[in-house]
Amino acid sequence: MEPITFAYIGIALMISLSGVGSAYGTTIGGQATIGAMKKNPDAFGSYTVLSALPGTQGLYGFAGYYIFSSGGVLSANITMLQSAAVFSGSLACGLVCFFSAIRQGQIGASGIAAIGSGHEFFGNTLILAAFPELYAIISLAGVFLINAAIV
């Protein structure tokens, strides 16, 4: 396998896994919102914010691709070492974003359900929902550092 192919497989995994994770995460929040609207339709603004939170992981996957692309490492002259670094960084970022987005969506859904039942948990849910995202951010930071090391 050519090193550039290996690198792009990693990129594809990063973008697709992070995007799929965000899709799942926002869907989980959206489904909870429909249910909560039946009990408390006035808090739609809060539901929207909490449902949208898992959307950032998809952006991180895309940002990861941009970091590698703008660094100039994705070219036909890429070495095996560089492509291995791109592949591993991308895989790590994609996997972490995938799972963190889904879990973040689940936290958001719990908060949405609680707000639907009349509890004032918007701020608390926002804080708790940001916890899984830290790891997605660290994985993106890892991509950034890997890129800096191989360029």
Partner 1 sequence: MIVKMKKYTFLVYHKDYGHFLDSLQEKGVLHVKERGSTNIEGGEQQDKLLLLNRIQEAIRFLEKKIDPNLNGGLAPIRQGNEILQYLDNLTHQYELMEQSISFIKKDVAVLEPWGSIDWRTIEKMENEGWSISFFSAPIRNWKPEWETNYNAFQIAQNSGNVLFVTITRRDEKFEIEADKVNLPRKELEVERTEIAKLHQEKNNIDGELRSFAILNISSLRHYKNQVLQEFDFDKVVLNTNKVAEGKIALLEGFIPVDREVEFQKFLDNEALFYEAGIPEVTDKVPVLLKNNRFARLFEPIGDLYTLPNYHELDLTAFYAPFYWLFFGFCVGDTGYGLVLMSTGFIMARKVSLRFKRIMILLGFLGISTILFGLISGTFFGMNLYELRIGFYASLDDLLKSKNTDINQALFKLSLLLGAIQVIYGMFVKVANEIHQTGFRSAFSTIGWIIILFGIGIHLLMKKIGIDLTTVAIVSGIILFVGFLGAFIFSNPERNILINFALGFWGAYNMATGLMGDILSYIRLFALSICTGILGYVYNSIAFSLAPDIPVVRILVIALILIVGHSINLMIGILGAFVHPMRLTFVEFYKNAGFSGGGKKYLPFKNRIIN
Interface with partner 1 (CB under 8 A): 42, 49, 52-53, 55-56, 59-60, 62-63, 66-67, 122-124, 126-127, 129-130, 133-134, 137-138, 140-141, 144, 148
Least distance to partner 1 from the beta carbon of 2, Å? 27
Least distance to partner 1 from the beta carbon of 8, Å? 19
Least distance to partner 1 from the beta carbon of 7, Å? 19
Between 3 and 60, name the residue whose CB sits nearer to partner 1.
60
Between 71 and 91, name the residue whose CB sits nearer to partner 1.
71
Least distance to partner 1 from the beta carbon of 4, Å? 22
Whole-angstrom CA distances from 88 to 11, 91, 92, 95, 145 are 10, 5, 6, 11, 12
Between 11 and 53, name the residue whose CB sits nearer to partner 1.
53
Q: CA 64 to CA 55: how far, in whole Å?
A: 15
Least distance to partner 1 from the beta carbon of 1, Å? 29
Between 6 and 122, name the residue whose CB sits nearer to partner 1.
122
For tokens 């990693």, the residue is 10
Q: Which two tokens stand for residue 39?
A: 């009990």
Closest CA to 132 of 9, 8, 32, 28: 28
Name the region of 118 (left: φ>0; alpha: ψ -120 to 50; beta: rest): left
Helix 122-150 to helix 80-116 angle (10° resolution) is 180
Whole-angstrom CA distances from 144 to 29, 93, 115, 122, 125 are 30, 10, 38, 33, 29
Between 6 and 40, name the residue whose CB sits nearer to partner 1.
40
